[in-house]
Structure 1
Amino acid sequence: MNQRDISESANKPPSLPSGVKADRILVDKSDRTLVLFNGGKEIARYNKIRFGDVPMGHKRFEGDERTPEGKYTINGRNSASSYHLSLRVSYPNAADIAYAEARGRSAGGDIFIHGQPNGYNGAPIARDWTDGCIALSNAEIEQVWELVPDGAEIEIRP
């Protein structure tokens, strides 16, 4: 078994019946979990997820390296991103934009749930390393990619 096999098996996604889809995502930053729901029932849980370099607090401005908190939706996907698959989070919302603009700043954007950097073959990065995104192992994002349709709700809690 090579290093990639070992690292990916440490973050192996749960087994699920085919055809099941998520309608809601709950991310808990303090517990470092991402949970998928269908009709109020938990269908998958991912642990040890990673965030922006400054994980505590709500994202306020472009470049603050924080992961947003609040309710958003998944509003797009990118199979050709710089990371292994990515699902776009609808940050910033109107309140985020208003807060930043009132302070003469940009709220930023381009917040995604994604895998590891393309070309990176080691174990999933074991520290907060994104610029505000939510990072999973490559095997986990592959499963999330299949389970989460555009339009799904996402709530990110502190």
Structure 2
Amino acid sequence: MRIKLIVLAIVAVSLFAYTKVMARIGSGSPSPDAPPEQRADLIRVYKSERRMVLFKGDAPISTYQISLGSAADAGPKQREGDEKTPEGRYEIDWRNPKSVTHLSLHISYPNAKERREAEANGFSPGGSIMIHGLPNGWGLLGGIHRLWDWTDGCIAVTNAEMSDIWARVPDHTPIDIMP
């Protein structure tokens, strides 16, 4: 029994160290921007379906299966640490090519109303909600990550999908996150 615990501890520490090293290395170079006719002007997330769609005008141009916050089905995000994915209209307000995950696009949560409500209730609304790929070094998991909701409120896709999204979604693209 004691040897099993030691082996388990070694594996856990090794995985933790691997993740930390890969996070420092980064996710590599982002894809170049897609041609204008392939760029989205709206993102729509359907939380209950675990689906994200990029639109150009009224036409869907790409669809992705997603993972969400581990408490995504419990309603909209209200506070830091609740592991819920927000609901509402936001925008992609900045991007991080050196993310601890394979690229990330920041969602403008919280808005002014969400900040006021959180403050009135005595807590932080949280932030750092992103669309992102898998943690650096874990890309081989591919679509397996979709078997469960594992983020802290973010929207996760495979690394290949994230490269595609990065190229197709300009800054300030609106995003509607629906229940």
Q: TM-score, normalised by structure 1?
A: 0.86
Determine the C-alpha separation between the residues in 1 that align with 2:169 and 2:142.
24
Determine the C-alpha separation between the residues in 2 that align with 1:59 and 1:40.
28
Q: Which has the higher helix share?
A: 2
Whether 1:71 aligns to 2:89 is yes
Q: Match of 1:53? A: 70
Q: CA deviation at 1:107?
A: 0.3
For the aligned residue pairs, the C-alpha RMSD in angstroms reads 1.2
Whether 1:103 aligns to 2:121 is yes
Whether 1:127 aligns to 2:148 is yes
Q: CA deviation at 1:122?
A: 2.2
Q: CA deviation at 1:123?
A: 3.2
Whether 1:153 aligns to 2:174 is yes
Q: Unaligned stretches of 5+ in structure 1?
A: 1-16
Q: Unaligned stretches of 5+ in structure 2?
A: 1-33
Determine the C-alpha separation between the residues in 1 that align with 2:151 and 2:48.
16
Instruction: Please list the CA deviations of residues 92-122 of structure 1 after superposition, one character each: whole Å capped at 9, or x if unmatched.
Output: 0011101100100000000000000101132
Correspondences of 1:17-96 after superposition (within 5 Å): 18-19=35-36, 20-47=38-65, 49-56=66-73, 57-96=75-114
Amino acid at match of 2:141: G
Determine the C-alpha separation between the residues in 2 that align with 1:123 and 1:155.
25
How many equivalent pairs are there?
141
- SS of the aligned residue for 1:83 comes to coil
Determine the C-alpha separation between the residues in 2 that align with 1:23 and 1:84.
22
- SS of the aligned residue for 2:164 comes to helix
- SS of the aligned residue for 2:49 comes to coil
- SS of the aligned residue for 1:73 comes to strand
Could you list the structure 1 runs, at least 4 aligned residues long, displaced by more than 6 angstroms after superposition.
none
Q: TM-score, normalised by structure 2?
A: 0.76
Determine the C-alpha separation between the residues in 2 that align with 1:75 and 1:42.
22
Identity %: 50
Contact between 2:105 and 2:166, CA under 8 Å: does it hold in 1? yes
- SS of the aligned residue for 1:129 comes to coil
